[in-house]
């Protein structure tokens, strides 16, 4: 009996083992089938990729990728011509580079955080004059997708997949023989952890593209966090998006200066939920000495939103020989303890990059050469035309609704205020970051005098001018002179006259940066956004309190 009972137990154990094996095999087959079903085909530009739900893809950033292609294409021609001139070659740029073809003297490009490989594949198919593109990602699953997408798009000769930590990979390319001509950093959140290695891995005169999506930190919601990440204090001011760009630029410059290098910004944009800068990186210990004159602290009035810049360094030129420059430390502070306009205290932010953030010549070349086949070409033309009109030597800007809100006065048409500034003999422009922006070289006192003159024509309610308020303090002073609001012929900018799409609406419902390692395709992101909308209001509602 004991023998038969043991035999039955043995047979049952064998059945159990086979049952487990069959179950595991069934689950594996079902997962493979699910993964095949989850594969989504995405077409953008000349690339078509397949991606799974756990790999990050954001369609809103097509503008980002289109613009990057346009910028690198212009840079490729410039970089080649500069190399010929440096080599003192008599050869002229006669080669008509074609996209999708490998050139041994072409660009060596790194996309450090590639995800699906879409950007690298588009670079290979749409940028003329490429030698090699390294598409790197830390995720093994992402690299699998990159390899498959490279094969599907027939760009194996141009795109090389890489499975590595981006920082380590860039440190491995810091020797001048292995450096990249172009490095593209488009991380989720803050890019600062990649900057030290990127600065060392890029060639002299190379192009560095950097994106930052942590706008809450850069725009003043968490200044202490901004300091830990970027080495600067952010402020909650109306021109916070431009200040965010300038904080990022000073952070890149700071990393570059440690290695005897410096940056020259080509284009700096704030778009959608992120900021994006395109800078060239050069080597030169002497040029690094000019960095202090390109950086400033910002004094921001807590009452009237006025701002004043205090440079970290100033330059003194010799009258007899303008090539001789002395580097001086400025005296300060640039403001008194209380604001001269409204009597309120100041916050101090920065340091920020206070030199120009665009190259007008480079922007003009992109407008002339950008491909009409790009899906977002109309947006590129609209934004870059506004950028080309910006006052490049004037940091930060005011906003019309903030100034009118401070004084509690009727808001005039933008063209009226612009005319008043132009009639007073000063320059004025929009910023691409805000449709009510006023970027001007007029002193702050002149701006408030213009607003006082406007208030005389459209008086503010006396009930709202409480004692000690910014409005009461500003309007208690008399303008030094009368200002004309007659329409000025240059008040209406060319970009508006030509009907360009200058300021963009939200591209999609429930748009945003998305979640890390979450695909921005299908209904996953949208359903989560819908679920979270109004969450705080529901939690604070009386019904919720009664339930609790």
pLDDT of 546 over the 50 cut = no
Is residue 51 assigned to a domain? no
Angle CA 90–95–278, to nearest 5: 95
Is residue 318 assigned to a domain? no
Average confidence score pLDDT of the chain: 87
Which H/E stretch holds residue 49? Answer: strand 47-51
Q: Are 275 and 211 in contact (CB under 8 A)?
A: yes
Are 406 and 258 members of one domain? no
Are 281 and 364 members of one domain? yes
| Rounded average pLDDT over 345-350 | 96
Are 457 and 483 members of one domain? yes
pLDDT of 529 over the 60 cut = no
Final residue of a domain: which of 385, 404, 433? Answer: 385
Q: Provide the pLDDT confidence category of residue 40 given band limits of 50, 70 and 90.
A: confident
Is residue 537 assigned to a domain? no
Are 451 and 417 members of one domain? yes
User: What residue numbers bound the domain in which 114 lies?
Assistant: 61-92+100-286+352-385
Question: Buried b / exposed e across 415-426, counting CB within 10 Å, b at 16+?
Answer: ebbbbbbbbbeb
CATH number, domain containing residue 137: 3.40.50.150
Q: Considering its fold, how many domains does the chain have in total?
A: 2
CATH number, domain containing residue 491: 3.30.56.70
- pLDDT the model gives residue 81: 87
Question: Buried b / exposed e across 159-190, counting CB within 10 Å, b at 16+?
Answer: bbbbeeebbebbeebeeeeebbbbbbbbbbeb
Are 379 and 453 members of one domain? no
Is residue 114 assigned to a domain? yes
Is residue 402 assigned to a domain? yes
Are 190 and 239 members of one domain? yes
What does the pLDDT look like over 448-504, one tens digit per residue? 999 999 999 999 888 888 888 999 999 999 998 889 999 999 999 999 888 888 877
Are 357 and 405 members of one domain? no
What does the pLDDT look like over 413-436, one tens digit per residue? 999 999 999 999 999 999 999 999
| Rounded average pLDDT over 184-213 | 96
What does the pLDDT look like over 238-264, one tens digit per residue? 999 999 999 999 999 999 999 999 999
Q: Provide the pLDDT confidence category of residue 15 given band limits of 50, 70 and 90.
A: low
Are 178 and 280 members of one domain? yes
Cα dist from 321 to 95, 277, 315, whole Å: 42, 35, 14
- pLDDT the model gives residue 547: 45
Identify the DSSP state of 112: S
Are 150 and 244 members of one domain? yes
Are 73 and 151 members of one domain? yes
Q: Provide the pLDDT confidence category of residue 538 given band limits of 50, 70 and 90.
A: low
Is residue 117 assigned to a domain? yes
Is residue 239 assigned to a domain? yes
| Rounded average pLDDT over 57-79 | 91
Is residue 333 assigned to a domain? no
pLDDT of 511 over the 80 cut = no
Final residue of a domain: which of 497, 514, 536? Answer: 497
In the numeric block, the tokens 């101090």 are attached to 348
Are 186 and 126 members of one domain? yes
Are 376 and 414 members of one domain? no
| Rounded average pLDDT over 142-161 | 95
The Cα–Cα gap between 343 and 334 comes to 15
């Amino acid at each position: 009996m004991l023998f038969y009972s043991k035999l039955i137990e043995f047979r049952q154990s064998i059945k159990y083992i086979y049952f487990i094996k069959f179950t595991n095999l069934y689950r594996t087959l079902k997962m493979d089938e699910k993964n095949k079903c989850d594969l989504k085909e995405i077409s953008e530009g000349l690339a078509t990729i397949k991606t799974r739900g756990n790999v990050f893809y954001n369609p809103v950033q097509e503008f980002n990728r289109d613009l990057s292609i346009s910028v690198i294409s212009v840079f490729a021609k410039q970089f080649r011509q500069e190399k010929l001139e440096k080599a003192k070659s008599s050869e002229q740029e006669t080669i008509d580079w074609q996209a999708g073809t490998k050139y041994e003297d072409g660009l060596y490009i790194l996309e450090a955080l590639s995800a699906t490989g879409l950007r690298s594949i588009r670079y290979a198919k749409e940028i003329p004059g490429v030698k090699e593109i390294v598409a790197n990602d830390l995720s093994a699953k992402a690299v699998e997708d990159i390899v498959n997408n490279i094969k599907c798009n027939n760009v194996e000769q141009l795109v090389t997949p890489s499975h590595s930590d981006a920082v380590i990979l860039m440190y491995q390319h810091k020797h001048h023989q292995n450096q990249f001509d172009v490095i593209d950093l488009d991380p989720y959140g803050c890019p600062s952890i990649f900057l030290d290695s990127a600065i060392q891995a890029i060639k002299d005169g190379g192009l560095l593209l950097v994106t930052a999506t942590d706008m809450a930190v850069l725009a003043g919601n968490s200044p202490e966090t901004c300091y830990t990440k970027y080495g600067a204090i952010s402020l909650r001011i109306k021109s916070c998006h431009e200040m965010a760009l300038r904080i990022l630029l000073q952070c890149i410059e700071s990393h570059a200066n440690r290695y005897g290098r410096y940056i020259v910004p080509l284009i700096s944009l704030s778009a959608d939920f992120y900021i994006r800068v395109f800078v060239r990186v050069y080597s030169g210990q002497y040029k690094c000495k000019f960095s202090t004159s390109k950086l400033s602290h910002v004094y921001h009035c807590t009452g009237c939103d006025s701002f004043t810049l205090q440079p970290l360094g100033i330059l003194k030129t010799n009258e007899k020989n303008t090539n001789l420059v002395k580097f001086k430390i400025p005296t300060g502070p640039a403001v008194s303890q209380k604001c001269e306009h409204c009597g309120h205290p100041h916050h101090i932010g920065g340091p920020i990059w206070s030199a120009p953030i665009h190259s007008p010549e480079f922007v003009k070349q992109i407008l002339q050469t950008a491909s009409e086949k790009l899906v977002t070409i109309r947006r590129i033309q609209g934004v870059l035309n506004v950028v080309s009109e910006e006052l490049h030597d004037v940091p930060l800007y005011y906003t019309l609704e903030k100034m009118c809100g401070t004084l509690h006065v009727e808001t005039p048409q933008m063209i009226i205020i612009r005319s008043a500034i132009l009639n007073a003999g000063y320059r004025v422009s929009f910023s691409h970051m805000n449709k009510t922006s006023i970027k001007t070289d007029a002193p702050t006192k002149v701006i408030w005098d213009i607003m006082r003159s406007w208030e005389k024509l459209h008086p503010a309610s006396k009930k709202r001018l409480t004692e000690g308020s910014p409005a009461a303090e500003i309007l208690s002073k008399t303008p030094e002179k009368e200002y004309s609001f007659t329409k000025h012929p240059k008040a209406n900018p060319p970009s508006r006259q030509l009907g360009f799409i200058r300021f963009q609406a939200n591209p999609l419902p429930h748009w945003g940066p998305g979640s890390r390692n979450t695909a921005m395709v299908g209904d996953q992101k949208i359903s989560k956004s819908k679920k979270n909308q109004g969450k705080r209001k529901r939690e604070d509602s009386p019904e919720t309190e009664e339930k609790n």
